[in-house]
Amino acid sequence: MPNCKISRFVFTNAWMRANGSVKWNAFMPSEKNPRPSVFRIDGLTEEDVWNIGVNVAGKPSGRDLKGRADLFEQDVINVRLHLENTPEPPRHAEIVGWSPDKADNMSKAQELAHISKGYYFLK
């Protein structure tokens, strides 16, 4: 669903700005993580969303949640990327369609970060 809202959880202060927005680096794919992970958050309360960040996304990472960036699936499609759902965990999807060229991916990540709305995680 293009109008589905998604969240990218952030586990490092290096990707959070002082105003709570999330840096473009948070959307970058890498050799080890070529399909950046997001969660579909439609119909969830704020508390539910943060719970996913802490308990579902955060557990395997072994790191503390710092914040998140919210955007829509259509925003991903607009930069010529798309989402692929994974069987587990529920609501989990990955951003796919990245280029082999790093500069291209930086450009797309910048557009995603620019359109997203960032939030600090307040414990």
Partner 1 sequence: MSQAIGCIDDCTGITSRGVENAATPWIKELYKKLINPNPENAETFARPKERCREMLNTTYVECSEENWDGYGARPVSDASLFESVRFINELPSYLPAPSDISADPDGHITMEWRNPRGLIFAMSFSGTGEVYYAGLLGVNKPRGTSYFINSIPKDLIEKIQSVGL
Binding site for partner 1 (CB under 8 A): 9, 11-15, 17, 23-26, 28-33, 36-37, 57-58, 61-63, 102-104, 106-107, 110-111, 114
Shortest reach from residue 11's CB to partner 1, in Å: 3
With tokens 């700005």, the residue in question is 17
Cβ within 8 Å of residue 92, ≥6 positions away = 37, 38, 39, 40, 56, 85, 86
Residue 45 or 103: the one with the smaller Cβ distance to partner 1 is 103
- Closest approach, Cβ 103 to partner 1, in A, equals 4
CB of 36 to partner 1, least distance (A): 7
Beta strands in 1-123 (DSSP E): 5-10, 37-40, 67-72, 82-85, 92-96, 117-120
